[in-house]
Amino acid sequence: MNEIAQGFWDAWWLILTFDPDLYEIIFLSLQVTVSAVVIASVIGLPMGAWLAVNRFKFRRYVIALLNALMGLPPVVVGLFVYMMLSRAGPFGSFGLLFSPSAMIIAQVIIITPLIASISHQTLRDLWAEYHDLLISMNATRGQRIKALIWDGRRALLTATLAGFGRAIGEVGAIIIVGGNIDHATRVLTTAIALETGKGNFAFAMGLGMVLITLAVVINLMIHSLGKTERASTW
C-alpha cells in the first residue's frame, strides 16, 4: 500500500514540477488522440448522417457491419496497420512505421466505426423527426445531412467523446505501430505498459491516474464548451 501511495506522490511530484519527460508523454498522447478523433469525426459523422438519410439495398447489412466494427480488436488493427506500413507493405515507402502518424492511422481505424455508428443511431431519430419537413422544403441530400449534423451537434458530442475515450485509453494497436520509442512514440498508455513490465507498479499507477484525470477533464471541458445538459440551449 505504501508503494502505491509513494507512486501517486511521485506521479504528482512529476506533474507539479513540470517534468519534461512526463509532459512530453502527455502532449504526445493528446496530439495523437485529438488528431485521430478529429479525422475520425470528419469521416464518421457524415457517414452516420448519410446512413441515416439514405435507403439502399444492403443498408441493414452495412449498419450491422458498422456496429460489429465498433468492437474491432485493437491488436489486430495494429497488426494490419503494421503490415501496411512496414517496408514490405504497400505504404512502406512513406516511412510512417514507428511514428506518431502510424499511431494516428491505427486509432482512426479503431474509432471511426464507433463514431459513425453512434452518430447514425442519434441522427436516425432526428431524421425521423425532420424527414417530412426537409422533404417539403426540397432540401438536397447534402443539405439534409448538413442540417442533421448541425441540429444534432450536441448529441453528436457523445459520439465524439466515446471515440476520444476509446482512443486515449488504447494501447494494443499503438504499441505495435508506434513501438513505444522514448521521446518519439511513447504515450501514457504505452508508458504504463512499459513501467508495469519493469515492475514499477506504483509509477505506472501514477501515470494511470494522470490518464484518467486527463480523460475526465477533457470530457468536462467539451461538455462545458458544447453547453450540453442545459435546458435553455436544448
Partner 1 sequence: MVIGPNGAGKTTLLRLMHGLQRCSGGEINWMVPQAQARQHQAYVFQSPIMMRRRVVDSIAFPLILRGASKAEARERALSCAGRFGLGELLQSWAPMLSGGEKQKLSLARALITKPEILFLDEPCANLDGSATREIEAILQLAQKEGTRIVMSSHDMGQVRRLADDVIFMLDGKVHERADAGSFFAAPSTSEARAFINGDIVE
Residue ranges in contact with partner 1 by CB under 8 A: 129-130, 132-133, 135-139, 143, 147, 151-152, 231-234
Question: Rounded to the nearest whole angstrom, what is the least distance from the CB of residue 141 to partner 1 in the complex?
Answer: 12
**Which residue, 120 or 186, is less far from partner 1 as judged by CB?**
120
Smallest gap, in angstroms, from Cβ of residue 16 to partner 1? 43
Q: Identify which of residues 6 and 124 has a Cβ nearer to partner 1 in the complex.
A: 124
Which CA distances in Å does 125 have to 46, 92, 121, 131?
Answer: 15, 43, 7, 10
Radius of gyration of the chain (CA): 20
Closer CB to partner 1, residue 17 or residue 233?
Answer: 233
Q: And the C-alpha cell for 137? A: 422544403
Shortest Å distance, C-beta 138 to partner 1: 5
Kindly report the backbone phi and psi dihedral angles of residue 199, in degrees, each rounded to the nearest multiple of 5, phi listed first.
90, 5
Contacts of 203 (CB under 8 A, 6+ apart): 7, 10, 11, 195
- What's the rounded Cα separation, in Å, for the pair 107 and 86? 17
In this structure, are residues 42 and 136 in contact, taking their beta carbons and an 8 Å threshold?
Answer: no
Neighbours of 35 (CB within 10 A): 18
> What minimum distance in Å lies between the beta carbon of 41 and partner 1?
19
Residue 160 Cβ vs partner 1, minimum distance, rounded to whole Å: 17
Residue 3 or 125: the one with the smaller Cβ distance to partner 1 is 125
**By three-state DSSP, how is residue 56 classified?**
coil
Q: How far is the CB of 109 from partner 1 (least distance, A)?
A: 32
DSSP helix/strand/coil, 187: coil
Closer by beta carbon to partner 1, 4 or else 137: 137
Q: How far apart are CA 214 and CA 118, in angstroms?
A: 23
Residue ranges with strand state E in 80-228: none
Judged by CB, which is closer to partner 1: 93, or 138?
138
